[in-house]
Structure 1
Amino acid sequence: MSLNLCIDIDGTITEAYYWLDAANRYFNSSIQPYQVKEYDIHHVLDVSREDYQEFYRLHWQELHGNAKPRKYAELVLWKLFMQHNISYVTAREPVTRDTTVQWLRRHGMPEMDLHMLGSHYKVDKAKELDCDIFVEDRYENAVELALSGFQVLLMDCSYNRKPLIPGITRVTNWLDVHEEIETIKLKKQKLAPQIA
C-alpha cells in the first residue's frame, strides 16, 4: 500500500535552528537553541517583525543555502520515496525555489513535487494532494491539519512543545518518522477491504 505523504522543509528536513548563528550575528544577540520557545523568530530575538523581515530579505539565500539537513533525513526520504507518493510542501516563497531545489540536490534528497505556498496555511494543499500523513514542525500548522482530519507527525523542536491533540504524533527524528509511517501503513492495510 502506498501512501500520499506531505513533507515540510524548514525545521523538518533541515535542522530547526539553522538560522540562529546568522541572526545572532546580525542582531548582536546570543540566543541558544533551547531559548527558541516559539516559531515566530522576531519574538525570539525580541526585535520588530519589520527588522526581522529586513534581515531575511538580505540573507535568505545564505540562510536556506547553508542550512544543515537533519540526521537520517536523506536515508529515510529515499526509503519512503521507494514506497510512497511524496510531495514537499513548504511555506517558503516561490522566489526561493531555485535555492531550495539546489539545496535538496546538494544534500542528496529525492527529487519530488515541490509546492511553495508563500503561506503557513497548508490545509488546502494537503486536501488537493489527498494527503495521508503530513510531516511538520510548526505547531499551529499541525493543529490546523489535524483539525481538518489529517494525520500529522510533529518533528520535535523547542518551539512546538505544547499539548498535542488527536491526530498529531510527536517524533524526535527521521527514524521515528519512518517507524510511525510504517505503523500507520500497516493499520491502513488491515482496515482495507480484502480483495479476493
Structure 2
Amino acid sequence: MRIGIDLDGTVADNFDLLVDTFNAYCGKLLQGKDIKQYSLCKTYNISEQEFNELMDQKEEGIITSSPLIPLAREKINRLVEEGWEVHIITARHPKYKEITENWLQNKGIPYTGLHLLNSHDKLDLCRELEVRYMVEDNIHNAYQLDDGGVNVILFEAPHNQCWPWQGIRCHSWAEIYRIIDNRYK
C-alpha cells in the first residue's frame, strides 16, 4: 500500500515563514488567516518573476527552518510500521533535494521515495506509483488529482478553506491517520 504526501503545508509547517518573508518584502502585515488563495503572487500583488527571485534568496532558509506539523512524525512513522510505503511528492525544485533529505532525516520522517517535481502537476506520478491516498493542501492540486482518480485527503489550510471540496478534509495528522486506519483495517 502506498501513500503520497505533499511536503510543504502538510509535513513542513512553513506557512508562517512564507507569510513573514513576503510581508517583509512587500511591506505588509498579513497573517496566515488572511491568505485565502494558494498563489502568493496574487495575494501580494507581485509578478511571478519577483516571486521566483525572492524564493531563490529565501527558500533554502525557509526549508531548513520549518518546524514539523504537529503529529506528522508520529503518524507517518505509524503508517510505515503498519506496512505503508510513503512517497513524499513535492513541487519543490530538485536543487533542494539534499537539504530536503537532511530536513526529513533530522525530523525523523521516514519515506520510501522522495520526489521533487518542480511542478504542481503530481497526477502522473501518483498514478505511476499507484498511491492509495495523496495528502495535499493545494486545492488546485487536489482538484486535479481527484479528477484523475486519485483519492485525496485535503489538509486544511487558510488558503483552501474558502474553496468547495467534496472529498475528505482533515485538520490534523490524527484525523488523517484515523481515516486511513479505519479504511484499511
SS at match of 1:104: helix
Q: Which residue of 1 aligns with 2:165?
A: 164
Alpha carbon RMSD of aligned pairs, Å? 1.2
Letter matched to residue 11 of structure 1: G
| Amino acid corresponding to residue 8 of structure 2 in structure 1 | D
Instruction: Report deviation, 1:22.
Output: 2.1
Q: CA deviation at 1:59?
A: 1.0
Cα distance between partner residues in 1 of 2:99 and 2:25 = 21
* Residues 1:44 and 2:43 aligned together: yes
Q: Please report the TM-score for the alignment, with normalisation by the length of structure 2.
A: 0.94
Q: Which residue of 2 aligns with 1:19?
A: 18
| Distance in structure 2 (CA, Å) of the matches to 1:72 and 1:109 | 11
Q: Which is further off, 73-82 or 16-25? A: 16-25
| Contact persistence 1:105–1:111 (CA under 8 A) | no
Counterpart in the other structure of 2:172: 173
Q: 2:90 maps to which residue?
A: 90
Q: Do the aligned partners of 1:88 and 1:115 also contact (CA within 8 Å) in 2?
A: yes
Cα distance in 2 between the residues matched to 1:119 and 1:156: 21
1:11–1:17 Cα contact (<8 Å) kept = no
Tell me if the contact between 2:6 and 2:135 (Cα under 8 Å) persists in the aligned partners.
yes
Matched with 1:194 is: none
The answer on 1:153 being equivalent to 2:161 is: no
Residue in 2 that maps onto 1:184: 183
CA contact (8 A) 2:11 2:72 kept: yes
SS in 1 for 2:100: helix
* Structure 2 letter corresponding to 1:173: S
- Structure 1, unmatched stretches of 5+, are 187-196
Q: Distance in 2 between matches of 1:18 and 1:108?
A: 21
Q: How does 1:45-194 map to 2 (within 5 A)?
A: 45-83=44-82, 84-161=84-161, 162-165=163-166, 168-186=167-185
Letter in 1 for 2:21: A
Q: Tell me which structure has the larger Cα radius of gyration.
A: 1
Measured after TM superposition, the shift of residue 19 of structure 1 is: 1.3
Paired residue type of 2:105: R
- Runs ≥4 residues deviating over 4 A: none
For 1:111 and 1:171, the matched residues in 2 are separated by 21
Counterpart AA for 1:20: V
Shift of 1:18: 3.0
- CA drift of 1:180 comes to 0.8
Shift of 1:93: 0.8
- Taking the aligned partners of 2:151 and 2:74, their CA distance within structure 1 comes to 22
Q: TM-score, normalised by structure 1?
A: 0.89
**Number of residues paired by the alignment?**
182
State the distance in 1 between where 2:148 and 2:51 align: 31
